Amino acid sequence: MKQIVAIHGRAAAPDQARCDDVVGMLRRVALAQGEPVPEPQAPDAAPALLALAERGRLAFSEMDGAVEVFYIPSRAANLSVLEGTGFPEAVQKKQADAFRTSQGALFRFPPEEGEGHGDHGALEVFITDWSPSPAAAAVAVHRGHPFIADLEKPRGASFTGRYVRHPLTGDLLPVWIADWVKPDFGTGAVLVNPAHDATDLAFGRSVGLPVRFGLVPAGFDGRPGTWPVPPVVKTGQSIKTGFWDGLPAQEAMQRYFDALEAVGFAERHRDVQAGRWRIARLVADPTGGLFWDGGRVRLSGSAGEGVPVRAEDTALLGTVSTLGHGAAPTLVCQAAEQTEALLFLRLLAFDLHGAPLAPERVLLVQKVQEAKLPAPPEVLRLGVLVGAPLQQVAVLKQQVVEQVQRFLRVHGELVEAWPARAADAAAAPPKAVLQARAALLEGDPAKAFAALGPLQKQLGGQPAEQRGESALAGYFAVAHVLAGLDLPAGVDLRRSWSRI
């Protein structure tokens, strides 16, 4: 079974139409080859949304009475793309370059009670500079973080009522919710150190966190005149740490890491992130089948756990839901979406199906340059499909429009004049038909049209009694596959295609 799908992303309507027409052409190729092709469907995206929510892979933003839903790829999904194969080399490189990469460490902060909240264990925090970490005042998480999934979350910054242990000192650090914490950076949790980071300092002052120093600049001797002014960033020496006092900032980082790694609370970590992607919009609907709890920022499939909603704008999620079953798909994507929709399709496929997406092939389609020409929509649309190779911007010129208009007119005349003869049924097909068929198998409509045009002109200029059935049947088959044009009565697509 063939899977042929268009990936639109945020492409404009003409660009989407060009992709859809390529998909239609490829579907007709498969049908002519005798390969079953499932009809396009709009699968229910609710199960996929719930699966992603259960795995903590969604973030939400309420606005204008609706809820925007964003997908945050897992680290495993990100690595599956960076280390993956099966995509064209140029696509793979572009997608790899789209990732943000940061070097640092993962620190694990055990809950105060010693057990994880919501079965998530210790709170993991990605940190790039932990030289002042003994002086940290809190940990901040984004509103949808799994560590606080079961809690009410009032708007704005708020204390969760929970504490975690600082793995280096054993101190209790309060866990706060902060809107400035990005769910698509690190683990979605931040170690708040007001004395050593400008953002942390502003947050600490706004909610009343202590401003403690874990590093002091050169010249500090404890006297008021040498007191440090926050934020002190990556400089000076450690203080208030007991036997680690007096270490240069870089040496303190290494000592702290060694101590935590030895007991399993830290590990070196390269954070790779593709960002986030809007995959759905939740709107109130009593028959929607999903339930949104705005207080807990939680999506559920259980009645009574929030307001009933339905999911809209789930095209990419719906596409991914149909993949991973059956044969490797052919993907048709706007070229500008290589690092957008196509990238997130790969990531979603991994997080939903547990394996990297392995397409049969990927066709990239360049955009359509807008042109206002006096012609029917079907002429303009076919002109966009055949007027330029898919890897080139489709510039619709008057010459192309005239060619397409003439092609459609002559095709109609040939259909009307189709004779029911079999005199040359076994004759070899014309070279142009072979070339057009080969181009269609390559997914190159412009090349197929260039081969087919002269043959059509030749056939149209011949008296009806001189037109061979084999040549006509072959022409009709490739014209139908290329542009979906009518087949005359008595012409069987699969038989005519197989004889070419």
3-state secondary structure 372-407: CCCCCHHHHHHHHHHCCCCCCCEECCHHHHHHHHHH
- Residue 437: left (phi > 0), alpha (psi -120 to 50), or beta? alpha
- Residue for token digits 């027409």? 21
For residue 463, give every residue at least 6 positions away whose Cβ sits within 8 Å of its Cβ, in sequence order, or none: none
100-273 falls under which CATH superfamily? Valyl/Leucyl/Isoleucyl-tRNA synthetase, editing domain (3.90.740.10)
Name the H helices within 277-323.
315-322
Give CA separation, 255 vs 123, 162, 251, 291, 383, in Å. Answer: 22, 28, 6, 48, 67
The neighbour count for residue 499, using CB atoms within 10 Å, is: 17
Q: Which amino acid is at 72?
A: I
Q: How many CA atoms lie within 13 A of 367 on its CB side?
A: 11
Q: Which sequence spans correspond to the domains of the chain? A: 4-96+308-365, 100-273, 369-498
| Closest C-alpha to 104, from 353, 271, 344, 245 | 271
| Closest C-alpha to 129, from 217, 41, 195 | 195
Give the strand pairing for 138-141 and 123-127: unpaired
- Residue for token digits 């290329």? 482
pLDDT in 10s for each residue of the chain, 500 residues = 688 999 998 889 999 999 999 999 999 999 999 998 877 677 788 999 999 999 989 999 988 889 999 999 999 999 999 998 889 999 999 999 999 999 999 999 999 986 544 445 899 999 999 999 999 999 999 998 999 988 999 888 999 999 999 999 999 999 999 999 999 999 999 999 999 999 999 999 999 999 999 999 988 998 999 999 999 999 999 998 888 999 999 999 999 999 999 999 999 999 999 999 999 999 999 998 999 999 999 999 998 889 999 999 999 998 898 886 667 899 999 999 999 999 999 999 999 999 999 999 999 999 999 878 888 999 999 999 999 999 999 999 999 999 999 999 999 999 998 865 544 555 678 899 999 999 999 999 999 999 999 999 999 888 877 777 788 889 999 999 999 999 998 888 999 999 88
Q: Structure tokens of 171?
A: 């101190």
| Closest C-alpha to 109, from 315, 328, 265 | 265
Give the strand pairing for 158-165 and 172-177: antiparallel
Question: Rounded to the nearest 10 degrees, how much is the dihedral formed by the CA atoms of 195, 199, 205, 209?
Answer: -60
Distance CA 221, CA 366 (A): 65
Cβ distance 273 to 106 under 8 Å? no
Q: Which amino acid is at 27?
A: R
Q: Structure tokens of 483?
A: 């542009």
Cβ distance 128 to 103 under 8 Å? yes
Please name the fold of domain 369-498.
Answer: Isoleucyl-tRNA Synthetase; Domain 1 (1.10.730)
Give CA separation, 165 vs 162, 169, 269, 341, in Å. Answer: 10, 8, 21, 40
Distance CA 425, CA 410 (A): 22
